[in-house]
Amino acid sequence: MPQNVMILATNGFEQSELEKPKQLLEEAGYQTTVVSPESGQIKGWDNKDWGSPVDVDLTLDKAKADDFDALLLPGGQINPDILRMNKDAVAMVKAFADAGKPVAAICHGPWLLAEADVIKGKTVTSWPSIRTDLRNAGANVVDEEAAVDGIFITSRNPDDIPAFTKALIDALEKDVVMV
């Protein structure tokens, strides 16, 4: 059975940061499952306007970290800001981190890592406007296309998607639980 990556998102996710890693993971033989607090479809943000809808495979209230091998957190400003205010979404991020499973967050996605209080002492990167928030959460912030520190994989923006997804695939191929 192929490894399964949870993609946790809600309305306002950055279109490319959900769709492109999802496509690359599936092309590499991984299963992906879009999980959201909402059922049905969620709508992306594409540059300066609403993007295309994406089907939700599983609602957050029915999802369990134990059923997945890794967590992917797309960015966009709207999506992670909404999710970091959702206690179940934050608990899901913490559950993956506590289980030592890869957690990959791009752009504004690392806001959820700060909210879940899992990045103290970890080296991460992000979109520039949230780097102070990450430092305040105790992280060592760098400006790299893909920062990998144990189970945490972070990237800055859509241009980093190839390196970001490769780092996540590398972590999945190790198939080692790291804490």
pLDDT tens digit sequence for 122-137: 999 999 999 999 999 9
Residue 179 within any structural domain of the chain: no
Residue 36 main-chain phi, psi, to 5 deg: -150, 155
Which tokens go with 23?
């496509």
Secondary-structure breakdown of the chain: helix, strand, coil percentages, each rounded to the nearest 5: 40, 25, 35
Range of the domain at 84: 4-174
Dihedral of CA atoms 72, 76, 81, 83 in degrees, nearest 10, equals -30
Tell me, yes or no, whether 129 lies in a domain: yes
Model confidence over 136-150: pLDDT tens digits? Answer: 999 999 999 999 999
What does the pLDDT read at residue 2? Answer: 86
pLDDT above 90 coverage of the chain, percent: 94
Q: Read off the CATH number of the domain in which 82 is found.
A: 3.40.50.880
β-strand 49-55 against 70-73: which pairing, if any? unpaired
Q: Look at residue 175 in the predicted model and tell me its pLDDT.
A: 60
Q: What is the pLDDT at residue 25? A: 98
Number of domains in the chain: 1
| Low pLDDT (below 50) residues in the chain | 176-179
Task: In whole angstroms, give the CA distance from residue 52 to residue 70.
Answer: 25
Q: Provide the pLDDT for residue 39.
A: 98
Which tens digits make up the pLDDT trace of 60-72? Answer: 999 999 999 999 9
Query: Where are the strands (E) in the chain, listed by range?
Result: 4-8, 13-14, 31-36, 41-46, 49-55, 58-59, 70-73, 103-106, 123-124, 140-141, 147-149, 152-155
Predicted pLDDT at 174 = 86
In this structure, are residues 93 and 41 in contact, taking their beta carbons and an 8 Å threshold? no
> How are strands ordered across the β-sheet holding 147-149?
58-59, 31-36, 4-8, 70-73, 103-106, 152-155, 147-149
Q: Is residue 91 part of a domain?
A: yes
Helix (H/G/I), strand (E/B), else coil: 67:
helix
- How many Å is the maximal CA-CA distance in the chain? 41
Question: Which residue out of 84, 94, 108, 122 is catalytically annotated?
Answer: 108
Distance CA 164, CA 158 (A): 9
Q: What is the pTM of this model?
A: 0.96
Q: For residue 47, what pLDDT is reported?
A: 86
108 is catalytic: yes
